[in-house]
């Protein structure tokens, strides 16, 4: 890759950030850093930030900005020589401003998926709590219902994926994300993708990024398997 490429993917819970990020990382060979996964790693490792973050995540609340920036910005410095894609950070204007003062972004991808679709998707979501691996009973089911493919341990459903909690989470997302999107729109780097299916959105994202990043290998045009 000739130069360093930095991107952010944003979107409401369940909009496909993680799924699309994996495809981008695989296709373009850039590092994928998910704020949710990073928090879960900190929780599993019992770090101070992880213990604090857990109390918020369990209630379906956002982790405070200063905790997020203190966790994420040093991590970005560690991978400063690599191209990366940030998934789930920044989520608030304060986080976006902190990121802004640390680096320049090339592209921001925003996923716009209808509310009814998100509700339906998250209803079918099952998670392996120890690793954060995510399944969907329709889109990417585990080999054995209720069981993690890798460890054979039981899968669980999140309390806040239930419809009532979800409505509140999605509404909150919109309020908080709007000023972040406006900031990136004003910089001319925001690209919005609207559809009900990740498989429909993916070719558009893939061609946008193909024009911006030289693909390191011939898999750039291949069809993803997950
Ligand atoms: P996370 O981990 O960032 P969310 O809730 O924002 O959590 P989530 O759940 O990870 O986002 P996603 O990554 O957008 O969703 O979507 P996904 O996992 O790829 O897809 C969702 C489901 O739909 C999966 O089961 C997938 O297989 C399926 N799917 C995908 N595409 C399709 C499709 O086309 N069709 C169908 N049928 N299914 C599909 O954050 C967790 C918590 O950490 C804290 C917050 O408390 C947050 O709630 N946090 C932060 N707090 C403050 N600031 C930050 N920056 C924070 N980041 C995280
Ligand atoms: Mg995710």
Express each pLDDT in 106-144 by its tens digit.
999 999 999 889 988 888 888 887 777 788 888 889 999
Query: Ligand 1: does its nearest atom lie under 6 Å from the Cβ of 42?
Result: no
State whether residue 133 is helix, strand or coil.
strand
Residue with CA nearest ligand 1 atom 41? 36
Residue found under tokens 């952010």: 8
Rounded (10°) angle between helices 115-123 and 163-186: 130
Query: Ligand 1: does its nearest atom lie under 6 Å from the Cβ of 180?
Result: no
Alpha-carbon distance values, 4 to 1, 9, 25, 177, 219 (Å): 7, 17, 14, 26, 20
Residue with CA nearest ligand 1 atom 4? 13
Query: Ligand 1: does its nearest atom lie under 6 Å from the Cβ of 69?
Result: no
DSSP secondary structure code for residue 84 in this structure: E
**How remote is the CA of residue 35 from the centroid of ligand 2, in Å?**
8
221 pLDDT more than 50 = no
Ligand nearest to the CA of 226: 1
Query: Ligand 1: does its nearest atom lie under 6 Å from the Cβ of 14?
Result: yes
The predicted model scores a pTM of 0.88
Q: What pLDDT, in 10s, does the model give residues 141-163?
A: 999 999 999 999 999 887 767 77
Residue found under tokens 């693909």: 215
Query: Ligand 1: does its nearest atom lie under 6 Å from the Cβ of 15?
Result: yes
């Amino acid at each position: 890759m000739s130069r360093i490429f930095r991107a952010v993917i944003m979107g409401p819970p369940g909009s496909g950030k993680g799924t699309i990020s994996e495809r981008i990382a695989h296709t373009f060979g850039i590092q994928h850093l998910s704020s949710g996964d990073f928090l879960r790693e900190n929780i599993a490792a019992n770090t101070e930030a992880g213990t604090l973050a857990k109390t918020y995540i369990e209630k379906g609340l956002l982790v405070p900005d200063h905790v997020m920036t203190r966790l994420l910005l040093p991590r970005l410095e560690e991978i400063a020589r690599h191209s990366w894609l940030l998934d789930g950070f920044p989520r608030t204007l304060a986080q976006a401003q902190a990121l802004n003062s640390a680096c320049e972004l090339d592209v921001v991808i925003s996923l716009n998926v209808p509310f009814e679709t998100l509700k339906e998707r998250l209803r079918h979501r099952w998670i392996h709590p120890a690793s954060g691996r995510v399944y969907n009973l329709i889109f990417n089911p585990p080999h054995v219902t209720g069981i993690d493919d890798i460890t054979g341990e039981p899968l669980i459903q999140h309390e806040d994926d239930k419809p009532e909690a979800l409505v509140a989470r999605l509404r909150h997302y919109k309020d908080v994300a709007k000023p972040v999107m406006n900031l990136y729109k004003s910089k001319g780097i925001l690209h919005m993708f609207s559809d009900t299916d990740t498989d429909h959105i993916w070719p558009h994202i893939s061609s946008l990024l193909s024009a911006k990043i030289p693909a390191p290998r011939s898999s750039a045009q291949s069809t993803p398997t997950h």
